[in-house]
Structure 1
């Protein structure tokens, strides 16, 4: 269905030409789901944009061919490409909220695509748009038709994007990181839906992702990309069990999986002995019957419904659950960014729930409770350098000045593994992992006793995630920190946490030791969360390999020899 030969894509920048894709070749067969995996900057998304001819200004297809069902996509007229996009080849974009028009009803946005490709008239467009919504399992589609994107959850917005992409019954679907930011059960529902629709309609698909576990579960074949090149391709089970290229091995090793420790995620030359962690039996935080009620259009809405738990000194407690379960609301009450409606938050022996959030900003205990936010980019001031960001708590709460503050900033940069040469860079000049380190350095600047980590690695590549998780383990041991780790990634929670709390609809449905919860869950909801987590194939026993990388032909020969 699709043949790509020696495709190269170049971008003109202020610093000169940059090669984003470098002579890649692959095919997509009818009915096949092809996975393209790799980290940020590997060229995955650029490849898909080149196929759709929607590259940013400055981007050009420098060389190569891309043929879809006999049509030369590189040389086709723009008028023909407008007809192909949506009707023949459609795309699910990474951020569903950004892909949707915020001031237009979602039903009208589906109609736009249908009418653009002459699949509906003004008389039957509404009916066909509702049918498209029902096809992607949207309940009460007729009423949802008139909703705006901000009125829908992230998972529901993703379904709307799927409905738009599938409305005209395309033959090839490109899904670019379609589940990033979704909770684990919604992720499974969206991916199961896409897979089932592809099978029912005899379509083909390209799944672009940095989640190897997800790719292995849903794809028939994988391509591994690095620096604009394909370094390995083959069957998902083969790539997971016996990766041939060093980069593939690095990605596979960094993927959280059953039986691995947090140190196992690192490259072998970086695996130091893990620190010994001995949490105390004395609590640093006790939550008693905590309640948060909001005023809704049709009456009060309880977001948190009388929950109770405790966190001991030096302990890492995981808080898991789907979007809307009350995790973030609980976190914001604990860090005193939001007032509770009722209940107690006993921190270090005192009930801080009695202190209004505004007044707590001047409380001496403000420095003892800090937070690392989910989106490292959005939580950093774009006009502040890394140095200024880390200096902010030292200036405001620590009252540090001059050389003492400068020395402390450099000490913190060293603590979180941020090179001093990056301190004077702005957020847009830093990678995702570097921005995460700046956020962590800011959070630990005042030597807090308790740290709330809200999905700190959700948007990071697996190898960067491995570094940040190990950093958090080391900081916990070095500084004697206690953590509340909020996440929907159960593999990461199992790696990092001693104790797990499971929330649903504002209530705690189960809590206990992490190993016990993960191996023998008691509540049906917990069981459904664990069942929804992608399960990558097991990694084979490591076999010594020559240091020099082999060509693809040589790799195949080596693999066949080992198999025999």
Structure 2
């Protein structure tokens, strides 16, 4: 169905031409799902954009062939491509909210593609759009038709994007990181839904991902990309059990999996023994009967309902659950970004719930509790250099000035493994892993006792995630900190946390030692979460 031969894509930049894709060749057979895996910058998304002919203005297909069902995509006119996009080849993009028009009802956006390809007219467009929504299992599709993207959850937005992509029964579906940012049960639901529809409609598909567990589970064949080129290809079971290329071995080894220690995620040549640490018998943080209620249109909305748990000094506690379960609301109250409706937040014996969040930034206790945010890009000021970002808490909370502050900034950069020359760069000049290090350096700048980590590695490639997780392990031991680690990635929680708290619908359904909860869950919901998590590929012992 699709043949790519020696494809090369380049971009014009102020520093000259950049070769993003170099000599890529592969085929997709009818009914086959091909996985393209690799880290950010490997060229996997650019390859798909070249096929769709939707490269940025500075990008061009420099060489090679791309033939779909006898049509030369490289030489096709824009008019021909407009006819192919959506009707023959369709795409599900990485960020569903960014892919949808925020000021247009989702039903109208599905209608647009139906009418563009003459699959509907003014009389039946609404009915066909609702039918497309029902095909992707959107409950009460008629009511959802009039919703705007901001009124829907991330998983629901992704279903709308799937409905748009599948509305015209394309023959080839390209999925570019379709589950990034979704919790594991929603991820499983979306992938199984798409897989079922692909099978029913006899479609071919390309899954682009950096999640090796996802690729192993849903793909018939895998190609591995690095620096714009394919380094290895083959059957997923064979490829991941016995990777031939060092880069594939690095990806497989860096993927969190059952039975592996956190140090085993790192390349053997840089592994060091995990540092010893002491966990106190006494609780540093005690959350008691914490409640958060919002006023809703039809009555109060109970976001958090009587949550209680402890974090001991030196301990890491994982807070897990699906989107909307209340884990982020709980962590925001703990770090005093939100006021609770009722309950206690006892930190070092003092009830922080009695201190309003509005003035907590100036509270002496603020320096003791810090946070590392989920999206390193969004949480950094784009107009501040790394140096300025790390300097801010030192100025505001520690009162450091001049040489003392400059020395502390460089000390922090060394501590988190951020090369000093990068201190004078802006966020857009840093990689994801480097931005994560800046966020961590800012959080630990004033020597906090307690760190709230909200999905700090969710958007990172597996090898960068492995480095950041090991950095957190080292800092925890070296600085004697306690962590509240908020995540939906159970494999990561198992590696980093001593104790786990499972939330559903604003309540705790289970908590206990991590191994006990992960190995023998007492609550059916915990078992459901564990079952939904993609199973990372296992390496052969050899």
For the superposition of Structure 1 and Structure 2, which TM-score range results when normalised by the shorter chain?
over 0.9
Q: Distance in 1 between matches of 2:299 and 2:342?
A: 18
* 1:481-524 deviation per Cα after TM superposition (whole angstroms, max 9, x unaligned): 00000000000000000000000000000000000000000101
Q: Distance in 1 between matches of 2:276 and 2:190?
A: 40
- Number of matched residues? 542
Q: Distance in 1 between matches of 2:463 and 2:16?
A: 29
Matched, 1:139 2:149: no
Partner of 1:2: 2
Q: Distance in 1 between matches of 2:449 and 2:141?
A: 48
Matches within 5 A, 1:15-54: 15-54=15-54
* 1:317-362 deviation per Cα after TM superposition (whole angstroms, max 9, x unaligned): 0000000000110011000011000000000011010011122222
Matched, 1:288 2:292: no
* 1:372-429 deviation per Cα after TM superposition (whole angstroms, max 9, x unaligned): 0000000000000000000000001111000000000000000000000100000000
Q: Distance in 2 between matches of 1:278 and 1:318?
A: 18
Partner of 1:556: none
Matched, 1:59 2:49: no
Matched, 1:412 2:431: no
- Report how far residue 278 of structure 1 moved: 2.5
Q: Distance in 2 between matches of 1:362 and 1:100?
A: 40
Partner of 2:96: 96
Partner of 2:387: 387
Q: Distance in 2 between matches of 1:509 and 1:81?
A: 51
Partner of 1:449: 449
Partner of 2:234: 234
Q: Structure 1: which 4+ aligned runs deviate by more than 2 Å?
A: none
* 1:84-118 deviation per Cα after TM superposition (whole angstroms, max 9, x unaligned): 00000000000000000000000000000000000
Partner of 2:107: 107
SS of structure 2 residue aligned to 1:179: coil
Q: Distance in 1 between matches of 2:182 and 2:22?
A: 32
* 1:19-54 deviation per Cα after TM superposition (whole angstroms, max 9, x unaligned): 000011000000000000000000000000000000
* 1:421-447 deviation per Cα after TM superposition (whole angstroms, max 9, x unaligned): 100000000000000000000000000
Q: Distance in 1 between matches of 2:54 and 2:277?
A: 50
Q: Distance in 2 between matches of 1:137 and 1:481?
A: 45
Q: Distance in 1 between matches of 2:307 and 2:251?
A: 39
Q: Distance in 1 between matches of 2:140 and 2:359?
A: 44
Partner of 1:336: 336
Q: Distance in 2 between matches of 1:320 and 1:46?
A: 34
Q: Distance in 1 between matches of 2:78 and 2:422?
A: 43
Partner of 2:346: 346
Partner of 2:473: 473
- Report how far residue 536 of structure 1 moved: 2.2
Matched, 1:225 2:225: yes
Q: Distance in 2 between matches of 1:357 and 1:200?
A: 53
Matches within 5 A, 1:188-207: 188-207=188-207
Conserved 8 A contact 2:212-2:537 = no
Matches within 5 A, 1:124-163: 124-163=124-163
SS of structure 2 residue aligned to 1:80: helix
* 1:145-203 deviation per Cα after TM superposition (whole angstroms, max 9, x unaligned): 00000000000000000000000000000000000000010000001111111101000
Partner of 1:315: 315
Partner of 1:79: 79
SS of structure 2 residue aligned to 1:508: strand
Matches within 5 A, 1:484-563: 484-542=484-542
